[in-house]
Chain A
Amino acid sequence: MRIYVTSVFVADQARALDFYTRVLGFRVKHDVPAGEYRWLTVVSPQDPDGTELLLEPGAHPAVGPYRAALAADGIPATSFMVDDLDAEYERLRALGVAFTLKPKGAGPVRMAVLDDTCGNLIQLVQMQAAPAPAAAG
């Protein structure tokens, strides 16, 4: 069994497509009409055959309260890994992205949280270099 897709609810798929591709830098993998919506997924150019992110319509009545409660506590809907958090932070800020949490250390990772303009907070994570193993004997 493999995880091939994960999803975020978005208020507007067209707007989400713009943010997740032009701003974040992902690429469209599937864009298939599905009734009044689309089956719309993006992938990382660093891993085009990897797990897809589904930009899922947020029309279900449960989505509003769910997202409002997460946002109230500052909890991200999902998390993406980056190689250089400070560089991504500067790049995205230059593109007008709002961050609710600037880059900061949190144990084994550094992280930041941004607003995807589609109703979600998104966490960016950079793994810290593993500490050098203790010298033997």
Chain B
Amino acid sequence: MTDEELDRVFKALGDPTRRRIIDRLRERPEQSLFELCAGAAADGGVALSRQAVTQHLDLLERAGLVRVAWAGRTKLHSLDLGPLHAAVAQWLRPHL
């Protein structure tokens, strides 16, 4: 993993909303943007605009933590913990 790739993973984790998105996708993979936003509303927490969630998803996708697949005409997001495991093994674990 390059430093850039490590940066992207740790930056992706450095935001409470993105960590919550990761939690939600772990509970249930293959969610559309609409479903993720509806889940945020159901949490009773701060409502998030679709635009905000889109930007968070883009950042998670660039870090490789979220994968996109198409179901018909709808884009579904799922978690990929590969880059997280790699980042932990390469940099975090030596310090633990």
User: A71 with B42: in contact, given A76-B34, A101-B35 (CB under 8 Å)?
Assistant: no
Scan residues 38-62 of chain B and give those whose CB is less than 8 A from a CB of chain A: 38-39, 41-42, 44, 50, 54
Report the interface size for chain B: residues with CB under 8 A from the other chain. Answer: 16
B-contact bits for A84-104, CB 8 A (1 contact / 0 none): 000000000000000011001
A53 within 8 A of B: no
Q: Which residue of A lies closest to B50 (CB)?
A: A73
B71 within 8 A of A: yes
Report the interface size for chain A: residues with CB under 8 A from the other chain. Answer: 17
Chain B residues contacting A73 (CB-CB under 8 Å) are: 32-34, 50, 54, 74-75
Q: How many angstroms from the CA of A74 to the CA of B71 in the assembled complex?
A: 10
B95 within 8 A of A: no
A107 within 8 A of B: yes
A75 within 8 A of B: yes
Is there an interface contact between B42 and A113, defined as CB atoms closer than 8 Å? no
Q: How many angstroms from the CA of A72 to the CA of B71 in the assembled complex?
A: 9
Is there an interface contact between B74 and A72, defined as CB atoms closer than 8 Å? yes
Q: How many angstroms from the CA of A79 to the CA of B66 in the assembled complex?
A: 29
A111 within 8 A of B: yes
* 30 A-B contacts (beta carbon < 8 Å): A71-B74, A72-B73, A72-B74, A72-B75, A73-B32, A73-B33, A73-B34, A73-B50, A73-B54, A73-B74, A73-B75, A74-B32, A74-B33, A74-B34, A74-B35, A74-B75, A75-B50, A100-B32, A100-B72, A101-B34, A101-B35, A105-B42, A106-B38, A106-B39, A106-B41, A106-B42, A107-B41, A107-B42, A111-B38, A115-B72
Rank and list the top 7 A-B pairs by shortest CB-CB distance, nearest first: A74-B32, A74-B34, A71-B73, A73-B33, A106-B38, A106-B42, A107-B41
